[in-house]
């Protein structure tokens, strides 16, 4: 019985590592550039609109809505990338203290706290997407628009939900990695290589 279980584990672990590699390629080679293009393009549009309004005395009625919701969409799309790089602000002093000074028990408590936080984060992301899907359907059916009445609201709201889903996926991979480390197994090779290239992740 042990051999089939071990084989299943290695197959699952290999699949998770391959999925993680694909996920990071998608984030780094497509998603971050899409986000950057949105932010840069809409920032330039906002600057151009300031020039038009205060020098030429004219402005586009739709510009403010597009800039506001477009920039927010660009920021939302970067949520998952920031989490994958562990670049979100976090209070980690206690966990660091436990790992460095708490011995084996301290490291265990720190790992369990990390896992609890990641489980909670995955659940929150899934909950937001699931419970907000009804509102998305409402926006589509009612054809609700932004304040300028030029743009439908649902594409922006859909981008937000997709971004929260992407954030949850990043948490899920980190959860799998942390569980493996707690079990005394090596973490995901691709994630471990990222840590070696960028320095220790706190």
Structural domain including 11 reads 2-198
Per-residue model confidence (pLDDT) at position 195: 65
pLDDT in tens, 158-184: 999 999 999 999 999 999 999 988 888
Give the up-direction half-sphere exposure of residue 88: CA atoms within 13 A in the CB hemisphere.
Answer: 14
Cross-strand pairs, 145: 152
The DSSP output letter for 153 is S
Per-residue model confidence (pLDDT) at position 38: 93
Distances (CA, A) of 128 to 114, 135, 163, 165, 173: 21, 11, 11, 9, 19
In this model, does residue 190 exceed pLDDT 80?
Answer: no
Burial class (CB in 10 A: 0-12, 13-18, 19+), 168: buried
Total number of domains in the chain: 1
pLDDT in tens, 34-67: 999 999 999 999 998 888 888 887 778 888 899 9
Mean pLDDT of 10-38: 91
Per-residue model confidence (pLDDT) at position 52: 85
pTM of the model: 0.85
Per-residue model confidence (pLDDT) at position 200: 46
Per-residue model confidence (pLDDT) at position 14: 84
Per-residue model confidence (pLDDT) at position 199: 47
What the block records as the tokens of 104 is 């084996």
- Quickly tell me which residue has 């980190």 as its tokens: 174
In whole angstroms, give the CA distance from residue 82 to residue 87.
5
Cβ-contact 166, 60 below 8 angstroms: no
Higher pLDDT pick, 12 / 201: 12
Per-residue model confidence (pLDDT) at position 5: 67
The DSSP output letter for 145 is B
């Amino acid at each position: 019985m042990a051999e089939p279980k071990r084989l299943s584990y290695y197959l699952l672990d290999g699949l998770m590592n391959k999925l993680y590699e694909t996920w990071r390629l998608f984030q780094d080679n497509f998603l971050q550039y899409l986000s950057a293009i949105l932010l840069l393009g809409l920032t330039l549009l906002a600057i151009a609109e300031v020039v038009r309004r205060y020098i030429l005395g004219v402005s586009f009625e739709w510009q403010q809505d597009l800039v506001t919701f477009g920039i927010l969409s660009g920021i939302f799309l970067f949520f998952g990338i920031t989490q994958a790089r562990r670049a979100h602000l976090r209070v980690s002093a206690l966990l660091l203290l436990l790992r460095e000074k708490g011995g084996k028990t301290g490291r265990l408590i720190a790992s369990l706290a990390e896992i609890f936080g990641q489980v909670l984060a995955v659940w929150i992301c899934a909950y937001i997407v699931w419970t907000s899907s009804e509102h998305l359907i409402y926006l589509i059916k009612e054809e609700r628009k932004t304040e300028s009445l030029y743009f439908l609201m649902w594409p922006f709201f859909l981008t937000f939900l997709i971004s929260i889903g992407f954030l949850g996926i990043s948490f899920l991979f980190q959860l799998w990695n942390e569980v493996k480390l707690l079990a005394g197994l090596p973490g995901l090779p691709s994630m471990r290589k990222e840590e070696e290239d960028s320095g220790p992740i706190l």
